Structure 1
Amino acid sequence: MSDLLDFTFAEARKKLAAKDFSAVELTGAYLSAMEAGRALNAYVLETPEIALARAADSDARIGRGEAGALEGLPLGVKDLFCTEGVRTTACSNILGEFVPPYESFVTAKMRRAGAVMLGKLNNDEFAMGSSNETSRFGASVNPWRRAGSDAKLTSGGSSGGSSAAVAGALCLGATATDTGGSIRQPAAFTGTVGIKPTYGRCSRWGIVAYASSLDQAGPIARDVRDAAILLGAMAGHDPRDSTSADREVPDFEAAVGRSVKGLKIGLPKEYRVDGMPSEIEALWEQGAAWLRAAGAEVVEVSLPHTRYALPAYYIVAPAEASSNLARYDGVRYGARVPGRDITELYENTRAAGFGPEVRRRIMIGAYVLSAGYYDAYYVRAQKVRSLIKRDFETAFANGVDAILTPATPSAAFGLGDKADASPVEMYLNDVFTVTVNMAGLPGLAVPAGKSADGLPLALQLIGRPFDEETLFATASVIEDAAGGGFRPERWW
Structure 2
Amino acid sequence: MTDLTRLTAAEIAGLVAAGETSAVEVTQAHLDRIAAVDERVHAFLHVDTEGALAAARSVDERRAAGEDLGPLAGVPVAVKDVLTTKGVPTTVGSKILEGWRPPYDSTIVERLREAGTVMLGKTNMDEFAMGSSTEYSAYGPTRNPWDLDRIPGGSGGGSAAALAAYEAPLSIGSDTGGSIRQPGAVTGTVGAKPTYGGTSRYGLVAFSSSLDTPGPCARNVLDAALLHQAIGGHDPRDSTSIPAAVPDVVGAAKLGASGDLTGVKLGVVTEFTGEGAEPGVMAAFRESVEALAKLGAEIVEVSCPHFQYALPAYYLIAPSECSSNLARFDGVRFGLRVGDDGNRSLEEVMSLTREAGFGPEVKRRIMVGTYALSSGYYDAYYGQAQKVRTLITRDFTAAFERVDALISPTTPFVAFPIGSRTADPYQMYLADLFTIPTNLYGGPAISVPCGLSDGLPVGFQIMAPTMADDRMYRVAAALESTVGTFTPPAL
Is 1:7 the counterpart of 2:10? The answer is no
The letter for the 2-side match of 1:119 is G
Q: Is the 8 A contact 2:422 2:428 kept in 1?
A: no
Q: State the match for 1:459 in structure 2.
A: 460
The letter for the 2-side match of 1:415 is I
CA deviation after TM superposition for structure 1 residue 272, in Å? 2.3
Cα distance in 2 between the residues matched to 1:275 and 1:245: 35
CA deviation after TM superposition for structure 1 residue 80, in Å? 0.4
Cα deviation code 1:266-304 (max 9, x no counterpart): 011111233422222222211221111111111111101
Q: State the match for 2:345 in structure 1.
A: 341
Q: State the match for 1:148 in structure 2.
A: none
Query: Which segment drifts farther, 351-360 or 279-288?
Result: 279-288
SS at match of 2:281: helix
Residue number among 125, 137, 140 corresponding to 1:135 in the alignment: 137
Q: State the match for 2:418 in structure 1.
A: 415
Cα distance in 2 between the residues matched to 1:349 and 1:86: 23
CA deviation after TM superposition for structure 1 residue 351, in Å? 0.3
Cα distance in 1 between the residues matched to 2:373 and 2:57: 51
SS at match of 2:365: helix
1:55-454 → structure 2 map (5 Å cutoff)? 55-66=56-67, 67-145=69-147, 152-258=149-255, 259-338=260-339, 340-398=344-402, 400-420=403-423, 422-451=424-453, 453-454=454-455
Cα distance in 2 between the residues matched to 1:205 and 1:351: 28
Q: State the match for 2:28 in structure 1.
A: 28
| Runs of 4+ deviating beyond 3 Å | none
CA deviation after TM superposition for structure 1 residue 19, in Å? 0.9
Q: Is the 8 A contact 2:5 2:166 kept in 1?
A: yes
TM-score (norm 2): 0.97
Q: Is the 8 A contact 2:277 2:411 kept in 1?
A: no
Q: State the match for 1:480 in structure 2.
A: 481
Q: Is the 8 A contact 1:225 1:256 kept in 2?
A: yes
Q: Is the 8 A contact 1:442 1:468 kept in 2?
A: yes
Aligned Cα root-mean-square deviation (Å): 1.1
- What are structure 1's unaligned runs of at least 5 residues? 146-150
Cα deviation code 1:231-257 (max 9, x no counterpart): 000101111101000101233211114
Cα distance in 2 between the residues matched to 1:164 and 1:182: 13
Cα distance in 2 between the residues matched to 1:277 and 1:456: 13
Q: Is the 8 A contact 1:156 1:186 kept in 2?
A: yes
Q: Is the 8 A contact 1:129 1:158 kept in 2?
A: yes
SS at match of 1:488: coil
Cα distance in 2 between the residues matched to 1:116 and 1:483: 27
The letter for the 2-side match of 1:204 is R
The letter for the 1-side match of 2:441 is A
CA deviation after TM superposition for structure 1 residue 192, in Å? 0.4
Q: Is the 8 A contact 1:70 1:110 kept in 2?
A: no
SS at match of 2:267: strand
Cα distance in 2 between the residues matched to 1:275 and 1:133: 23
Q: Is the 8 A contact 1:2 1:29 kept in 2?
A: no
- What are structure 2's unaligned runs of at least 5 residues? none
Q: Is the 8 A contact 1:195 1:227 kept in 2?
A: yes
Cα distance in 2 between the residues matched to 1:251 and 1:110: 18
The letter for the 2-side match of 1:465 is T
Cα distance in 2 between the residues matched to 1:219 and 1:99: 23
The letter for the 2-side match of 1:265 is L
TM-score (norm 1): 0.96
Q: Is the 8 A contact 1:188 1:446 kept in 2?
A: yes
Judged with a 3 Å threshold, the aligned counterparts in structure 2 of structure 1 residues 2 and 357 are, in CA distance, closer, same or farther, namely: farther
Cα distance in 1 between the residues matched to 2:440 and 2:22: 44
Cα distance in 2 between the residues matched to 1:478 and 1:275: 23
Q: Is the 8 A contact 2:194 2:445 kept in 1?
A: yes
Judged with a 3 Å threshold, the aligned counterparts in structure 2 of structure 1 residues 275 and 73 are, in CA distance, closer, same or farther, namely: closer
Cα deviation code 1:301-333 (max 9, x no counterpart): 110101100000000000000000000000000
CA deviation after TM superposition for structure 1 residue 60, in Å? 1.1
The letter for the 2-side match of 1:19 is G
Is 1:49 the counterpart of 2:53? The answer is no
SS at match of 1:274: coil
The letter for the 2-side match of 1:226 is D
SS at match of 2:400: helix
Cα deviation code 1:182-225 (max 9, x no counterpart): 00000001000000000000000001000000000001101000
